[in-house]
Structure 1
Amino acid sequence: MTGSSRLTPPLAGAGRVAILGSCVSRDLWRMAGAPADDLLYISRTRLPSLFAVRPEGLALPEGPAPGLRPNPARALRTDLSKTGLDEIIRFRPDMVLLDFIDERFDLLAGAGGVVTASWELETAGWDALPPLMTLRRLDALGDADATLWRRALDALATLFAPGGALSGARPVLHEAVWAPALRTPAGRTEPLAPDLEITPGRRAARAAHNARLARMHAAARGAIPGLTFVKAPDSLVFSDPDHVWGLSPFHYVTDYYAEIWRQLGGG
């Protein structure tokens, strides 16, 4: 599949799919040229933020979010207004595809609520909105963050349990990780930097985040009823320097997407 621009046909019998994750899962449909009519995509929303209440007194500015394209702006509004969970439940998905790549962001947390400290939030300048400006930043790699994340995972798990709001949906975990190297279409490989700028001025180590992702994947497998998972072999976990979204440890080569799509049942 090296160099191929299209993958296999759309998922056979998948029905309605809700993605709760990042572009690494949404890109499967783009790479496959698959229709997105029955696809819901919720991104830039960390699990602790998904299950939090809307910060009291938060009034979002009307009109476009400064510096953001429509889709990222929509994702930011969804995170802050806390509508993502309701959107997924109302969508009545047959499958919920999870990935934890957007869990790399810090949280803003406090008595006023919990929100995702995303690049979009800072770019729009909305982290300065009251009451968000009073919230405390929690390091994504810290113990306090881990406690909030585990509580949110348990809340997610109850939705898939018998009688839960998503009990009719098939939960699937895309075990995506940060790639250690890039690979060109000609097959040349080069190591990537050991750290990444998550938001302006804040860098994080690939090794630390991959270790954290491994813990998250294991916790999800143990917590979510009926969870299945898809995962690419290490031989395909390479970044694509020509990726449409730019070079990143989680913007992969085409072969990666082809393998995940195959495991999902797309071909």
Structure 2
Amino acid sequence: MRVMILGSCVTRDAFECQQKPWPIELEEYFARSALASAMDPRPFTGVDLSRIGSAFQRKVVEFDLTDAFPRALEEGRYDLLVYDLIDERFDVVQNAEGALATRSSEFNSSGYDASADEVVRTATPAAFALWEQGWTALVERLSALGRLDDLRINRAYWASEVEGGGEFPPVFTPERIATANAYLDRLYERAAKDIGPEGFYEFTDRELLAAGEHRWGVSPFHYTNAYNDRLLELMGAHGAR
């Protein structure tokens, strides 16, 4: 079964951490991209991709700045589309032409000067309006393709605890975690109006624990292997339908 991801490492990590073989392969991964930007067909120009450090980072920013994700939906080389909303933590840049870009750390490393653009801060009413615009476009596109039933939302939240009683880096305060999760709840509530509860992958609080040791460091969205195993199980069930 071919899986396409729009989201973050919380979904991608499962493919690298699987402890038993699943008949699942990763077809494509659209990372560091807010949904509004991913679904925007207008190219966002003026970004010097050559200044971005790695090939992977250049690729994800290029995908975000172009219509790569809508084109991938049309091409349909996937059996399951998993969307996780963790990257909605990023601000969105809107230029004078109305085109959108996700203000990820990779985007910022290009040196792009956004001083003349509008920066829409995450978790604000304006950010929600942009997200809803992207969400509506995604639902309409998948419905037209007869593929809405192949969409699943990975209902992840920022973890508030670290496995084994460890601590988060100081930047991840309890207040910041609570604010991020409140915003995610609002997005999930809106999405459920179109895809219902069956369109979500759900997890317990114990599964949504931050890993005490993780290749990318301790973070509220770097989970344990128990979470990864459960996600693989849920994706595998889609292929067994």
TM-score by length of 2: 0.86
Q: Deviations over 1:35-59 (max 9, x none)?
A: 8755211111111111224346x24
Contact 1:104 1:140 in 2 (8 A): yes
Q: Secondary structure at the match of 1:265?
A: helix
**Structure 2 CA distance for partners of 1:108 and 1:166, relative to 1, 3 Å:** farther
Aligned partner of 1:208 in structure 2 is 179
| 1:192 corresponds to which of 159, 168, 178 | 168
242-251 vs 88-97, which deviates more? 88-97
Contact 2:166 2:212 in 1 (8 A): no
Residues of 2 paired with 1:242 and 1:191: CA distance? 11
Mapping 1:140-219, distance limit 5 Å: 140-161=122-143, 164-165=144-145, 167=147, 170-183=150-163, 188-192=164-168, 195-196=171-172, 205-219=176-190
1:167 Cα deviation from its structure 2 partner: 2.2
Q: Secondary structure at the match of 1:115?
A: strand
Aligned pair count reads: 234
Q: Secondary structure at the match of 1:26?
A: helix
Residues of 1 paired with 2:170 and 2:139: CA distance? 33
- Residue type matched to 1:148 in 2? L
Q: Deviations over 1:111-170 (max 9, x none)?
A: 322110111111221x22xxx542111110111111111111111111222xx1352761
Contact 1:94 1:169 in 2 (8 A): no
- Residue type matched to 2:39 in 1? F
Answer yes or no: is 1:124 the counterpart of 2:110: yes
Answer yes or no: is 1:20 the counterpart of 2:6: yes
Structure with greater helix share of residues: 2
Mapping 1:49-64, distance limit 5 Å: 49-55=37-43, 58-61=45-48, 64=50
**Structure 2 CA distance for partners of 1:194 and 1:220, relative to 1, 3 Å:** farther
**Structure 2 CA distance for partners of 1:189 and 1:170, relative to 1, 3 Å:** same
Answer yes or no: is 1:42 the counterpart of 2:27: no
1:218 Cα deviation from its structure 2 partner: 1.7
- Residue type matched to 2:33 in 1? T
Contact 1:22 1:102 in 2 (8 A): yes
**Structure 2 CA distance for partners of 1:111 and 1:55, relative to 1, 3 Å:** farther
Contact 2:24 2:236 in 1 (8 A): no
Aligned partner of 1:89 in structure 2 is 74
Residues of 2 paired with 1:250 and 1:226: CA distance? 22
- Residue type matched to 1:167 in 2? R
- Residue type matched to 2:172 in 1? L
Structure with greater strand share of residues: 1
Asked which structure has the greater CA Rg, the reply is: 1
Answer yes or no: is 1:99 the counterpart of 2:81: no
1:95 Cα deviation from its structure 2 partner: 0.9
Aligned partner of 2:201 in structure 1 is 230
- Residue type matched to 2:233 in 1? R
Any stretches of 5+ residues in structure 1 without a counterpart? 1-14, 198-203
| 1:78 corresponds to which of 60, 63, 71 | 63
Percent of aligned pairs with the same amino acid: 26
